Amino acid sequence: MKPAFRAFLKKTGFSFHRKIFISHLVIVLFTFLTFLMINFYQTSRNARENSIYSASQTVAQTLEFMGFILNSVEHTMEQLVFDEQVQATFNRDTAAYTADKSQQVKDSVSLTAIFDFSKSFPISTVRMYIPDQIGLSKENVTFFELSKATEAEWFPRIRNTRKSVWLPAALMEQNSTPSTLALVRQIPSLMSYDKILGVMQIGVPESVFSEMLDKVKYTAGSSALLINSYGDMISTSGGESFWKHPENRELLQESFPEAAYNTLQWNDKVVFQNKEYLVGVQSIPYSDWKIAMSIPWTDIMEPYTKTRNNMFFIMMLIIPVSFLLSYFFSVTSTKQIRKLIFHMRKTVQGGGYNTPIQTAGKDEIGELTRNYNFLIANISTLLEEKYAFGKQVKNLELKSLQAQINPHFLYNTLDLIHWMSADAQAPQIGGLVKSLSKFYQLSLSNGEEWVTLAHELEHITHYVHIQNMRFDNGIKLRTEIPEELLACRMLKLTLQPIVENSILHGILGREEETGLISISAGEDRGDLILTIRDDGMGIPEEKLGNLLTGSSASRTGGFGIRNIHERIQLVYGEGYGLSYSSVYGEGTCVAIRLAKDKE
């Protein structure tokens, strides 16, 4: 982010104090926004944890009371099903019992009293479904024909079980008022457990549970639900309920597929009608029920949202103040820089190198100003030196011009002597003069610093010819150069000093003063390798080691061996140059490594 921001400031072309102003402002805004984001994230996280904790505590208290209610109703069911009077009445001989009307009346009064006694909170009704042939089964508020139960929609849920089953109000009689839930169970005979005496039903008003669910509501917009394992809605909290929509109950089954949850399990990614909800589910003991809660995130975050809005309002107040302060500090901190720029512009455009800036600051800008004063003082000194050096250059250029005129004059004079020797019929003198003339012509090489290998070989050929005129043709020159390497470029006067050393200090050092110089060329790893061998006296081992580094290196014609070596390294690098190998009394070999460079 920082490189991108610096690139943006660089491209905009803003002045330095504006860049500082923008930087300060961005830092302040970035800090505030980052703080708000972190605060909002942490607040959301804390809100979720606090909501889950508080809702869990509320549900735990409600479930404790609800469990007590369900357990007490279940206990009442057990007492009624296995009551002695109930078992005795319905285990009588059916034929005798039907004929004995007085016994039926006694049993009816007795059972009705038992059932009425059981109608304490929260039980509102107690019903028995008994075989149709028993006289008691004629419909009233307590006894009903067993066929009404076996033909009911809910009967398959208890057909193959001896346990009690809770039924939702939706499965009970439609005309029941108020809405009633029912705990139903088949009544087994204690005398013959395979025999079913009838069905017992205990009714509990649905309002008992809806009131408990109302107490579970964590916020005004939250809602609670009781649902059984069949997906039937047992009860919901009052008001507009999230759970009254069937698709949400289906979503509950998908989000929480497990059969039982001993503690509240939460899902905070439930969305309904573009609104996010926090949903929790827990199983209820003594039943196949689950309690589910839905809390809108807007309700959870409402107090935190107010705090966040207040913080945004405070930030809106701080931004103008930050704007003014950032501008003030940017202008103040760049005052010395603007002063320095003014003097620099004055110096550059007006040439006032003798007007230093007065500064008392000890910060970085003060140090920059002092360095600027030191710089212009040095520039003033350099300008004076440049003026003096310019005079010297002019004098040297004049001397150089004179030095170039002298070799040209000598070359032209030698050319004149050559033609005069031809007129005087002195061919040896003419050949010598011609070689000497060509030698100087090649040495000059039209002022070019770089020549070809062929040019250098021609130069050497004329040089050896001149030396043979002095030393009675005692020097032989042999070249073994591949045709494709003749065009390689190299520094001029590279070979001549080495060949001169081979003649003067090698071949002429022998008693017979004769010898062979061979020059060969090849390639190695893309470089040009030139090899000059002679069969002269060679070099003593104690001198060979410091030949290229010692201060007493041999020099001939103004160009020493070390000079050639340094010139090559200066142009090509340290990996290039001369290398010597010699056996004293047998000869010397010089290898020259150059970068291969063709015209």
- Identify the top-confidence range among 269-273, 276-280, 365-369: 276-280
pLDDT at residue 557, rounded to an integer: 35
Which band of pLDDT confidence, cut at 50, 70 and 90, is reported for residue 587? Answer: very high
User: What is the three-class DSSP state of 361?
Assistant: coil
Reference 443, options 468, 460, 424, 422; nearest CA is 460
pLDDT at residue 80, rounded to an integer: 93
**What does the pLDDT average to over 570-589?**
90
> What is the distance between the terminal CA atoms of the chain, rounded to a whole angstrom?
50
Query: Per-residue pLDDT for 456 more than 60?
Result: yes
Please give the backbone phi and psi of residue 166, each rounded to the nearest 5 degrees, phi first.
-85, 135
**What does the pLDDT average to over 195-212?**
91
Find residue 478's DSSP bridge partners: 518
Query: Per-residue pLDDT for 411 more than 70?
Result: no
Q: What is the DSSP letter of 157?
A: G
Q: What is the DSSP letter of 371?
A: H
**Structure-token match 């200090």, residue found:** 505
pLDDT at residue 83, rounded to an integer: 92
Please state, rounded to an integer, the average pLDDT across all residues of the chain. Answer: 79
- Dmax (CA) for the chain in angstroms is 183
Question: What CA dihedral angle connects 7, 13, 18 and 21, to 10 degrees?
Answer: -10
CA-CA distance, 457 to 269, in Å (whole number)? 90
Query: Per-residue pLDDT for 591 more than 90?
Result: yes
Which band of pLDDT confidence, cut at 50, 70 and 90, is reported for residue 553? Answer: very low
pLDDT at residue 483, rounded to an integer: 92
Reference 154, options 81, 228, 208, 204; nearest CA is 228
User: What is the three-class DSSP state of 481?
Assistant: coil
pLDDT at residue 104, rounded to an integer: 80
- Identify the top-confidence range among 20-24, 53-57, 414-418, 494-498: 494-498
Side-chain half-sphere CA neighbours of 381 within 13 A: 6
**Structure-token match 């070019």, residue found:** 448
pLDDT at residue 360, rounded to an integer: 54
Task: Return the higher-pLDDT residue of 371 and 480.
Answer: 480
**What does the pLDDT average to over 75-99?**
86
What is the percent of the chain where pLDDT is above 70?
78
CB distance 465 to 438 below 8 Å: no
What is the distance, to the nearest Å, from the Cα of residue 417 to the centroid of all Cα atoms in its chain? 84
pLDDT tens digits, residue range 152-200? 999 999 998 889 999 998 887 655 557 889 999 999 998 887 889 999 9
**What does the pLDDT average to over 447-474?**
85
Query: Per-residue pLDDT for 389 more than 80?
Result: no
**What does the pLDDT average to over 567-584?**
89
CA-CA distance, 595 to 574, in Å (whole number)? 12
CA-CA distance, 355 to 370, in Å (whole number)? 12
pLDDT at residue 350, rounded to an integer: 59
Which band of pLDDT confidence, cut at 50, 70 and 90, is reported for residue 441? Answer: low
Task: Return the higher-pLDDT residue of 310 and 129.
Answer: 129
**What does the pLDDT average to over 416-429?**
64
* pTM of this structure: 0.50
**What does the pLDDT average to over 248-271?**
78
pLDDT at residue 384, rounded to an integer: 73
pLDDT tens digits, residue range 21-54? 777 777 777 887 887 788 777 877 787 788 788 8
Which band of pLDDT confidence, cut at 50, 70 and 90, is reported for residue 404? Answer: very low
